[in-house]
Amino acid sequence: MIIAIDGPAGSGKSTIARRLAERLRLTYLDSGALYRALTYMCMRDGVDLGDVPAVVKFLEALDIDLQYAAGRQRVLANGRDITAEIRDPAVTRQVYYVAKEPAVRKEMVAHQRAFGKRGDLVAEGRDMGTVVFPNADFKFYLDAGADVRAQRRHRELREKGMEVPLEQLRKEIEQRDRTDMERKVAPLKRAEDATVVDTSDMTIDEVVEHVMERIEKGRK
């Protein structure tokens, strides 16, 4: 079984996908973490994010692994734990450079499909239902207003000890929506057969229940 969950930043995708994976005992694929890992490692090793051939070559030699234990995700690149580093706002702002490149996405899609071959999966990102797993058994598109999403990010960052002004986060979220929705390859959009869930006024538990109900109904 493959469950595809797409949506913009802060729509609740990661939390919901993780909870579903735990409840249904499926593997969780955080595709955004792969794009973030590549971006961070390029920045760290001085690879120019604008130099596409260099980025692709770097990606080909990069071993990115996502591991889960006791409800926690670890992101490893060439064996190095970069779980915290990839969430840095400086990385978030730069992911766009690699995410818009067809050659980069081609490699990433192959990597993501390899996860699907390992077994049942909850895959989360921007193009899971449209490009990577068009035949997914269930597809959801999570959405929420930009203000709500900025507040969620603000809380998340604060919990990690990072204080970023709310207004700045809202602007960054709107900017990221634009670049994710307007890029030519695999833009963020709802798959025609995806169920839309507006999470603006819902708690995490409510979203999980709603999505679970859909899945249970669909399995009968």
Residues of this chain that interact with ligand C5P (CB under 6 A) are 9, 31-32, 35-36, 95-96, 99, 125-127, 176, 180
Residue closer to ligand C5P (CB basis): 85 or 180: 180
> Do the Cβ atoms of 85 and 92 come closer than 8 Å?
no
The closest of 100, 89, 87 to 127, measured between CA atoms, is 100
Residue closer to ligand C5P (CB basis): 12 or 32: 32
Taking the complex as a whole, how short is the minimal distance between the CB of residue 118 and ligand C5P, in angstroms?
18
Pairing of strands 64-69, 72-77: antiparallel
Taking the complex as a whole, how short is the minimal distance between the CB of residue 35 and ligand C5P, in angstroms?
4
73: enclosing H helix or E strand: strand 72-77
Alpha-carbon distance of 220 to 218, in angstroms, equals 6
Taking the complex as a whole, how short is the minimal distance between the CB of residue 9 and ligand C5P, in angstroms?
5
> Do the Cβ atoms of 194 and 141 come closer than 8 Å?
yes
Taking the complex as a whole, how short is the minimal distance between the CB of residue 135 and ligand C5P, in angstroms?
17
Residue closer to ligand C5P (CB basis): 9 or 82: 9
Q: Helices 89-99 & 166-182, crossing angle to 10 degrees?
A: 10
Total length of the chain: 220
Alpha-carbon distance of 15 to 47, in angstroms, equals 31
Taking the complex as a whole, how short is the minimal distance between the CB of residue 4 and ligand C5P, in angstroms?
10
Residue closer to ligand C5P (CB basis): 134 or 213: 134
Residue closer to ligand C5P (CB basis): 128 or 215: 128
Taking the complex as a whole, how short is the minimal distance between the CB of residue 216 and ligand C5P, in angstroms?
26
Residue closer to ligand C5P (CB basis): 138 or 216: 138
The closest of 7, 4, 34 to 149, measured between CA atoms, is 7
> Do the Cβ atoms of 19 and 215 come closer than 8 Å?
no
